[in-house]
C-alpha cells in the first residue's frame, strides 16, 4: 500500500437509511439531514472480487479494498488492522461441550481492539477528503485507534473520554500525540465536549456512526468470517454491543456478499450482548421498540459497552430482529466470572466486553435459545490488558 495508486474502490454514493436520499461520497459528510448515519454504497454489479482471488491478498482488511471507500492508497496507513484469527479454541469447546465454537480474536489489532478497523478506514478517507483535525468522544478504544491512525498519517487527533476510563487508554492517547481531554460523565458527555471544537474550529467528527466510514472498516469482520469459514456462515454471532457499529457493519457486509455472489440468503442469528448496568438495546428489544431510550446511570466495567444512547439503535434492533437473533444483558458478576473462564480456556487475556459474550452464551444455552451443536462465534473485541483496574475490581 501507500504507493499513490488507485485502490479500485467501487464506492458510488452515500445513502440515508431513513429516507433513501443520496449524498455525495466525495466530500466530508456526517449525519444525514434527518440525523441518521449515512451508509456507503458501491457499484456491486461491477465487483469481480472472488474469494479465491484473496488467497495471496494482503493480510489486513485492505484485502477488501474494492469494497472500501478509500480511492487512493497513498492515503492509507496499514498498521496491520483486520484479518484477525478465527480461533477454534479447542479447550473452550471441550469445556462448554460446543464442538463448533469459534472465537474471533480482535485483540491482535493495532491499539489492541477492533476500533482500529473502523478508524483505519475513517481516518484514511477523511485525509483523502481533506480533513486535517479529527475529533472523537470515546469510551476509550476509539480514542486510542483515532490517535494511532492520526499519528501514522500526520493528522491532528482530539480525543475526549470519561475521567474514570481505565488509565491505559489515556496513557496510550497521550503517547500517540493526541490532544486529550478527560471529562466528567460518560461517552455522551465526551462527545458533547468535542462539539465545541467541531463547531468553532472545523474539526471533523469521527464519533461512532457520525461519519460513514468507521462502519465500512468494521464490516470487514463479516467478510473475514465468510473467508475463514470457507464460504460458510456461522449459525449464531455473539457481539458485545456499545454503539453497535460492528453488528450493523457485519449485517451490511452479508447483504453486500450476497449481491456479489459470495453467499446466499441465509443469515446468522445476531445476538447483541450488553451489561445489565447499561442495556438500552436489550430493553428496547424486549419492549418491541424501534429506538432505544437513553439509559440512566450507565455503569459497567466493560467500558466499550458503556454507551447509554446509540445513534444507530434502529439499525442494531433491525438487524437483530431480521436475523432471528436476540439481545441479552449479563450482570457485572457474570462478566467477571466469564473473564477468567474464557481466558484460562483459550490463552487469550480478553477484554471484559469479550468475556460478556461467554456469559451470554451460558444463558442462551441454558434457555435453549442456542444449541450446543450450532456453529457459534464469540467476538473478543479487545485486549484485557487495558482493563487491569476492572480485573482487580478497584
Ligand atoms: C467499542 C467497543 C465495543 C462496542 O463496539 P460497538 O461496535 O461500538 O458496539 C466492544 N468492545 C470493545 C473492546 C470496544 O472497544
Atom of ligand 1 nearest to the CA of 245: 7
Residue 118 CB less than 6 A away from ligand 1: no
Mean pLDDT of the chain: 97
Residue 34 Cα to ligand 1 midpoint, Å, equals 25
Residue-wise pLDDT for 261-313, tens only, equals 999 999 999 999 999 999 999 999 999 999 999 999 999 999 999 999 999 99
Residue 106 CB less than 6 A away from ligand 1: no
Atom of ligand 1 nearest to the CA of 382: 13
What is the structure's pLDDT at 394?
A: 76
DSSP H helical ranges for the chain:
90-96, 115-128, 141-153, 167-175, 187-201, 213-228, 245-259, 280-286, 313-322, 332-346, 352-367, 388-391
Contact between 351 and 304 under an 8 Å Cβ cutoff? The reply is yes
Residue 243 CB less than 6 A away from ligand 1: yes
What is the structure's pLDDT at 3?
A: 77
* pLDDT average, residue stretch 348-376: 98
CATH dotted code for 84-394: 3.40.50.1100
Residue 141 CB less than 6 A away from ligand 1: yes
- Residues with Cβ within 8 Å of 230's Cβ and at least 6 positions away in sequence, in order, are none
Residue 305 Cα to ligand 1 midpoint, Å, equals 6
Residue 60 CB less than 6 A away from ligand 1: no
CA-nearest residue, atom 4 of ligand 1: 242
Q: Which three cell numbers stand for residue 366?
A: 441454558
Asked if pLDDT for residue 27 goes beyond 90, the answer is: yes
Measure the CA–CA gap between 215 and 328, rounded to whole angstroms.
23
Measure the CA–CA gap between 216 and 242, rounded to whole angstroms.
17
* pLDDT average, residue stretch 18-30: 98
Residue 146 Cα to ligand 1 midpoint, Å, equals 14
Measure the CA–CA gap between 114 and 248, rounded to whole angstroms.
14
Instruction: Tell me the Ramachandran region of residue 154: left when phi exceeds 0, alpha when psi lies from -120 to 50, beta otherwise.
Output: left
Residue 312 CB less than 6 A away from ligand 1: no
Asked if pLDDT for residue 21 goes beyond 90, the answer is: yes
Residue 302 Cα to ligand 1 midpoint, Å, equals 9
pLDDT bucket at 42, cuts 50 / 70 / 90: very high
* pLDDT average, residue stretch 177-191: 95
Residue-wise pLDDT for 49-62, tens only, equals 999 999 999 999 99
* Residue to probe by mutation, ligand 1, list 103, 165, 292, 382, most atoms within 8 Å of CB: 382
Contact between 129 and 26 under an 8 Å Cβ cutoff? The reply is yes
CA-nearest residue, atom 3 of ligand 1: 304
Measure the CA–CA gap between 350 and 328, rounded to whole angstroms.
20
pLDDT bucket at 104, cuts 50 / 70 / 90: very high
What is the structure's pLDDT at 285?
A: 98
Asked if pLDDT for residue 1 goes beyond 90, the answer is: no
DSSP secondary structure string for all residues of 6-57 = B----EEEEE-TTT--EE-TTS---S-TTSPPPEEEE-GGG----GGGGGGS
Measure the CA–CA gap between 160 and 180, rounded to whole angstroms.
6
Entry pTM = 0.98
Measure the CA–CA gap between 176 and 138, rounded to whole angstroms.
16
What is the structure's pLDDT at 2?
A: 59
Residue 353 CB less than 6 A away from ligand 1: yes
pLDDT bucket at 153, cuts 50 / 70 / 90: very high
Q: Helix 352-367 crosses helix 332-346 at what angle (to 10 degrees)?
A: 100
Task: Give the phi and the psi of residue 254 in degrees, each rounded to 5.
Answer: -60, -40
Amino acid at each position: 500500500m501507500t504507493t499513490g495508486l488507485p485502490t479500485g474502490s467501487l464506492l458510488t454514493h452515500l445513502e440515508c437509511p431513513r429516507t433513501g436520499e443520496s449524498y455525495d461520497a466525495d466530500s466530508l459528510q456526517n449525519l444525514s439531514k434527518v440525523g441518521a448515519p449515512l451508509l456507503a454504497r458501491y457499484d456491486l454489479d461491477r465487483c469481480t472480487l472472488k474469494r479465491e482471488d484473496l488467497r495471496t491478498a494482503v493480510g489486513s482488511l485492505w484485502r477488501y479494498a474494492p469494497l472500501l471507500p478509500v480511492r487512493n492508497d497513498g492515503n492509507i496507513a496499514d498498521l496491520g488492522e483486520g484479518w484477525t484469527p478465527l480461533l477454534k479454541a479447542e479447550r473452550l469447546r471441550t469445556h462448554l461441550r460446543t464442538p463448533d465454537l469459534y472465537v474471533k480474536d480482535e485483540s491482535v489489532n493495532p491499539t489492541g481492539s477492533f476500533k482500529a478497523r473502523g478508524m483505519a478506514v475513517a481516518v484514511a478517507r477523511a485525509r483523502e477528503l481533506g480533513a486535517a483535525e479529527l475529533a472523537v468522544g470515546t469510551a476509550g478504544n476509539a480514542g486510542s485507534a483515532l490517535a494511532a491512525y492520526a499519528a501514522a498519517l500526520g493528522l491532528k487527533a482530539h480525543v475526549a473520554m470519561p475521567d474514570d476510563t481505565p488509565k491505559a487508554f489515556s496513557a496510550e492517547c497521550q503517547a500517540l500525540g493526541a490532544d486529550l481531554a478527560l471529562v466528567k460523565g460518560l461517552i455522551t458527555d465526551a462527545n458533547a465536549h468535542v462539539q465545541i471544537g467541531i463547531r468553532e474550529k472545523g474539526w471533523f467528527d469521527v464519533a461512532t456512526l457520525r461519519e460513514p466510514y468507521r462502519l465500512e472498516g468494521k464490516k470487514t469482520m463479516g467478510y473475514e468470517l465468510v473467508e475463514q469459514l470457507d464460504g460458510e456462515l456461522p449459525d449464531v454471532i455473539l457481539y458485545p454491543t456499545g454503539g453497535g457499529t460492528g453488528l450493523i457493519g457485519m449485517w451490511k457486509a452479508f447483504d453486500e456478499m450476497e449481491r456479489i455472489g459470495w453467499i446466499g440468503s441465509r443469515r446468522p442469528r445476531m445476538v447483541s450482548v450488553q451489561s445489565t448496568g447499561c442495556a438500552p438495546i436489550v430493553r428496547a428489544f424486549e419492549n418491541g421498540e424501534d429506538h432505544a431510550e437513553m439509559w440512566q446511570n450507565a455503569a459497567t466495567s466493560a467500558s466499550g459497552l458503556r454507551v447509554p444512547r446509540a445513534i444507530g439503535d434502529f439499525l442494531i434492533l433491525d438487524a437483530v430482529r431480521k436475523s432471528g437473533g436476540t439481545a441479552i444483558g449479563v450482570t457485572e458478576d457474570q462478566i467477571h466470572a466469564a473473564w477468567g473462564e474464557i481466558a484460562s480456556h483459550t490463552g487469550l487475556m480478553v477484554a471484559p466486553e469479550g468475556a460478556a459474550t461467554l456469559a451470554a452464551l451460558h444463558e442462551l444455552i441454558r434457555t435453549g435459545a442456542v444449541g450446543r451443536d450450532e456453529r457459534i462465534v464469540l467476538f473478543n473485541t479487545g485486549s484485557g490488558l487495558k482493563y487491569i483496574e476492572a480485573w482487580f475490581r478497584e
